[in-house]
Every structure is written in structure tokens, then in C-alpha cells.
Amino acid sequence: MIAIVGNGLAAISLAKSFLENKIDFHLYDDCNKNNASSISSGIVNPVSGRNFVVNPYYDVFLEAALNFYRIEDQPYIEPIKVYRKLAHDFQAAHLSENTFDNQRFIRFKTKDIIEILGCYQIRVNPFIEAIKQTINQRVITLKIEDFWQSIQISPHTTIQIGDYRYDKVIFAEGIAVLNNPYFKDLLYNANRGEILLLEDKGQNLDHVYHHGKFICPYEAKIWLGSSFDKVSATTKVKTKENYDLLVQHIDQLFLNNSPPKEHIIGHFGAFRTTTWDRMPIIGSHLSDKRLWVFNGFGAKGTSMIPYFTSQLTQALISDKPIDSYASIERCYIKLGKITKPPKFKKRN
């Protein structure tokens, strides 16, 4: 029996995979209503950053996502057009270089607007709710502070949480990892993201448009965001400064079809968990192999989580290793807690 801790996309995805692979589990819903998944745009995009860097793992991530975001015959992932306005002439010059990746994923619409190809959008909240309904009998609601009071971890035995005993506990609790006594010293960082939701009053938005910030359709509304602030997780989750900044982008993003400010439904914020190399940290604790972590997906969680959910599931079933670029071992090496194995040269 395995305990999963969390209530965002990472935890729910593990629950879906365990159910499909007949792994017995409980999901401990930690009641965090401000998790990053709750306000995720759900965009899966091969290109990111000012330099339009193509994710080298995008093909494998996308293949996993297309298969994963489906419940029976109901898909929760759909193709979406993504347009991005170039901010400077040097960006156009950079993109005009005849590279393989640019040919695959980038197409000029005008001299200063590109279309990014191969993009998708996941309906994150409906997907999470559908999985929760499927696993309803396996969900235990327990606030995170009550969880830590209930758990008993003794050596050489199963782990007890309340009335249940578990062989392993997997922490997929998002930003709460920073207070996790077993994994808080890993190299996770807090990143605050804030968004606006607006009514769609005749805009009929059916694509993504990126110009500084970006807009996209979102559950019959319009999503506008996001800020990206490297701050302490103890700071406010929403700020007036970022609200004002997002409001200033409305006219810039909607051009001639800009909704009035009174169409703003709400201002929302959440903390993402990020890492120094923008890859998740996944694996078991250095000194207690019963404790696992599945965290650090940042703003790219919707694209990466399906692939690494499969990896973690196979690690549990058949002891297959997690890819080195996402394994917890790289973190322990960086912290100096384990030594990097030497590379041996082949003899001639």
C-alpha cells in the first residue's frame, strides 16, 4: 500500500497511474486550495524563453501527454494555435536562422508575429476533478499540519498514518515540500505566479497570444498571465503591483477587441515549486527508501508530469531508474551528500 500526499496535478496523476497499474494506494488531499495546478493555463509548448529555446525532451513529453490526458474516450488535451509577437528585431534575426528546430516548431505569420507549432492545451481542473471522482473511495482529506501529527515513521517497519499502514509515502504536495522535514533541504525554490480571469464577452478567444504576458481560453473564460516572481513562499500570494501590471497588459494583448476592465472576474495567485535546472526532483530519500518525492515541475508541469508519472510508476513496479536529469541523485550530488560516480574510459 502506498500513500500519495498532495491534491494538485502531480498527485492526481500518480493516483491515475497507480489505479491503471493496480497499485494499491490512498491519496491524502492536503486541502491546499492555492496550488499552482488550480490556476494553470494548461498550455503545452515546445518553445520557451526570450531566445525561443526548444525543449530537447518535448517529443517524448508530448507523446506521454497525448496518451495520458484521457479518461476512457474523453480527451482532456486538444491542439491549440499559439501566436507570439517578437519584441525586438534581433529576435526575428535569430529565428530566421535555418535551424532544424526552428523549421519544426516556428513559422512566421508576419515580420513580427510567429506561430509556434505543435502546441496543446490541457483542461487541467476538469481532468483533476474527473480523476478525483474515479478514486473517490481512496481519497482521505487531511490538512497538512494534521498529516504530520498523524504520521509515524519507525525504522524497519511500515509507515503508519492514522489507522493505515503503508510501505511507501510519495510526497507530491507542491510548495508544501519547503516545510517537509525529509525533503525541505533539497534545492527547491518558490516561484509566485499571478493571473487574471476575464469574462469572454464576444471575444470568442480560441488561441494563445503572447506579447509580454499571454492570453488563452480557459473554461469558457479568458486567462491572462502570468507573473513569475522568485520570492519566499511566506510572502503574499497576490500583490497589488502584479494586479496592476496584468491589467496594463489587457489592451496590449487584445488589440482592437479589448474587454473593459469590469470584465475582470478575479485575480488569483499560487506558488510553483521550481529547481535550479528547471527539471523536477524525483526519487527516494537518501537514508529512508520508503519516502519518495515527486516535485519541482515549475511552469512546465502539464507537459512533464505524464512522462515522469510513468517513470515513477515503473520504478515502483520493476525498480527502473528515473532519468538522470530528473533524479533526486543529481540533487544529492550537488549538495555533496553522495559522490558522483567516476567515468571510466574504454581501453583501446
For 193-252, what is each residue's pLDDT tens digit? 999 999 988 778 999 999 989 999 999 999 999 888 999 989 999 999 999 999 989 888
Contact 201, 250 (CB under 8 A): no
C-alpha cell at 172: 507530491
Q: What's CA 18's distance to the chain center, in Å?
A: 19
Task: Choose the CATH number for 189-275 among 3.10.129.10, 3.30.9.10, 3.40.920.10, 3.90.1150.10.
Answer: 3.30.9.10
Per DSSP, what are the bridge partners of residue 170? 4, 292
Question: CATH 3.50.50.60: which residues of the chain?
Answer: 2-42+123-186+280-334
For 3-23, what is each residue's pLDDT tens digit? 999 999 999 999 999 999 999
For 160-204, what is each residue's pLDDT tens digit? 999 999 999 999 999 999 999 999 999 999 999 999 999 988 778
pLDDT at 100 over 50: no
Q: Tell me, what DSSP letter sits at residue 319?
A: -
Q: Write down the mean pLDDT value for the chain.
A: 90
Q: Which ranges of 21-135 would DSSP assign to H, the alpha helix? A: 58-68, 89-95, 100-105, 124-134
Question: CATH 3.30.9.10: which residues of the chain?
Answer: 189-275
Give the model's pLDDT for residue 166: 97
Asked whether the whole model's pTM tops 0.85, one would answer yes
DSSP assignment string, 71-98: ETTEE-EEE-EEEEE-SSHHHHHHHTS-
Q: Average pLDDT in the 125-140 region?
A: 95
Cα–Cα distance measured from residue 173 to residue 29, given in angstroms and rounded to the nearest whole number = 9
Residue 116: CA count within 13 A, CB half-sphere: 23
For 267-278, what is each residue's pLDDT tens digit? 999 999 999 999
pLDDT at 151 over 60: yes
Cα–Cα distance measured from residue 316 to residue 241, given in angstroms and rounded to the nearest whole number = 45
What does the longest C-alpha to C-alpha distance in the chain come to? 73
Greater confidence (93 vs 180) lies with 180
Per DSSP, what are the bridge partners of residue 161? 151, 164
The yes or no reply on domain 2-42+123-186+280-334 and CATH 3.50.50.60 is yes
